[in-house]
Amino acid sequence: MKMDYNIVLIGFMGAGKTTVSEYLRDTYGMDVVEMDQVIAEREGMTISDIFSVHGEEYFRNLETNLLKELQSRKNTVISCGGGAVLREENVVEMKKNGCVVLLTVTPETVYERVKDSDGRPILKGRKNINDIMELMEKRKGKYEAAADVMVATDGMTIQDICEEMMKKLMEHRTDVI
């Protein structure tokens, strides 16, 4: 199966974007672009260091530029950082050649998935369920407004998540080859 467009994964950190990307790569032979990873490699520093050295605005500019660069791709899974949808321009770029899939998750699941990770600058000093819930609530409207389709990931296997996502994508887009 080849797609004439890209799948753009959005969602809060810990929603499963990386895991879903890897599954789609392995199962459907799609290319994968992990935006945070590409940005970190190009800048030669971690996302946390980019935030502390250059600030969030600088990082968001890098995201926007990378999204523009990816417009020429097809059949690619683009896994966005958790805050990519906060900038309206990014959402416009995502939709130009992509179907935006929102992976949803509960604050409790996010906490379980990220509690042992130090690579989440937005959660620095806020790694508890209440703070995660507060941040999720602030972003919820942006996520939902950007999404073409939504898939809940709590308590589902990666295969079930991807099967549901592909079914919803086929209902939403008809240009699957």
- Residue 114, pLDDT score: 74
Structure-block tokens of residue 31 = 């290319």
End-to-end C-alpha distance for the chain, whole angstroms: 6
- Residue 127, pLDDT score: 62
Q: How are strands ordered across the β-sheet holding 98-104? A: 31-34, 76-79, 6-10, 98-104, 149-152
Per 3-state DSSP, what percentage of the chain is helix, strand, and coil (rounded to 5)? 60, 15, 30
- Residue 113, pLDDT score: 75
148: number of Cβ within 10 Å = 17
- Residue 117, pLDDT score: 66
Q: Where are the beta strands (DSSP E) in 37-175?
A: 76-79, 98-104, 149-152
- Residue 177, pLDDT score: 45
pTM of the model: 0.89
CB 51 within 8 A of CB 121: yes
**pLDDT values of the chain reduced to their tens digit, one per residue, 177 residues:** 678 889 999 998 888 999 999 999 999 999 999 999 999 999 999 988 999 999 989 999 999 999 999 989 999 999 998 889 989 999 999 999 899 999 999 988 887 877 666 655 555 566 678 888 898 899 899 999 999 999 999 889 999 999 999 999 988 876 554
- CB-based contacts of 30, cutoff 8 Å, min separation 6: 3, 7, 24, 75, 76, 77
Give the single-character DSSP code of 123: G
